[in-house]
């Protein structure tokens, strides 16, 4: 079984814990995700909204204004998404799960890497640590990473899955 790790050993900047996501929402066959602007246009990002419980994703659906269907957020899906983003050669890689958003235009979103969520699934932990914060920019109609996260992303290519 692969070992989940980061390409550097820095501790996340936040100690917030959020219940481990168990569901994602799809519109048709496609998982929904927010629009994220990156300072580095070479950043390759895979992102999904993840939810820990039905009342939370029900609230999101209520605010979304479109037909969405919940699906289990399973280990295989996370592994495939991490592999997809990691296979893109010369680009910075990022694979994240937005944690328990109340709606598609929340002012602030918390997120964890897909590797962190996958590890929580594998270890059956009840909570994951928030690793990133994203803020909604009304002018751009998109999210951007907090300044501290942006600096971290510029120096750290990604969370990866590697074999021992």
pLDDT > 70? residue 98? yes
pLDDT digits (tens, 9 = 90+) for 50-79: 999 999 999 999 999 899 999 999 898 898
The pLDDT of residue 147: 60
pTM of structure = 0.80
The pLDDT of residue 5: 36
In this prediction, residue 88 has a pLDDT band, given cuts at 50, 70 and 90, of low
pLDDT > 90? residue 97? yes
User: What one-character-per-residue DSSP string does 29-54 give?
Assistant: TEE----B--SSTTEEEEEEEEESSH
The pLDDT of residue 58: 96
The pLDDT of residue 15: 59
Q: Which residue has the tokens 């699934």?
A: 121
The pLDDT of residue 16: 87
pLDDT > 60? residue 87? yes
User: What one-character-per-residue DSSP string does 92-138 give?
Assistant: EEEEEEEES-SSTT-SEEEEEEHHHHHHHHHHT-SEEE--EEEEEET
Average pLDDT for residues 24-28, to the nearest whole number? 94
Q: Which among 131, 87, 115 is positioned nearest to 4, based on CA atoms? A: 115
1 vs 77, which has greater pLDDT?
77
The pLDDT of residue 163: 26
């Amino acid at each position: 079984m692969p070992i989940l790790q980061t390409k550097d050993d820095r501790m996340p900047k936040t100690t917030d814990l959020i219940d481990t996501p168990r569901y994602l929402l799809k519109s048709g066959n496609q998982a929904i995700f927010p629009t994220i602007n990156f300072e580095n246009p070479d950043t390759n990002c895979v992102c999904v909204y993840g939810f820990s419980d039905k009342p939370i994703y029900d609230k999101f659906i209520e605010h979304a204004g479109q037909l969405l269907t919940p699906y289990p957020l399973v280990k295989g899906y996370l592994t495939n998404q991490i592999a997809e983003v990691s296979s893109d050669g010369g680009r910075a890689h990022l694979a994240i799960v937005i944690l328990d958003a109340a709606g598609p235009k929340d002012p602030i979103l918390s997120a964890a890497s897909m590797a962190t969520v996958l590890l929580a699934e594998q270890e059956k932990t009840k909570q994951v640590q928030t690793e990133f914060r994203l803020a909604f920019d009304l002018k751009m109609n998109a999210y951007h990473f907090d300044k501290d996260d942006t600096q971290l992303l510029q120096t750290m290519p990604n969370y990866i899955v590697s074999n021992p």
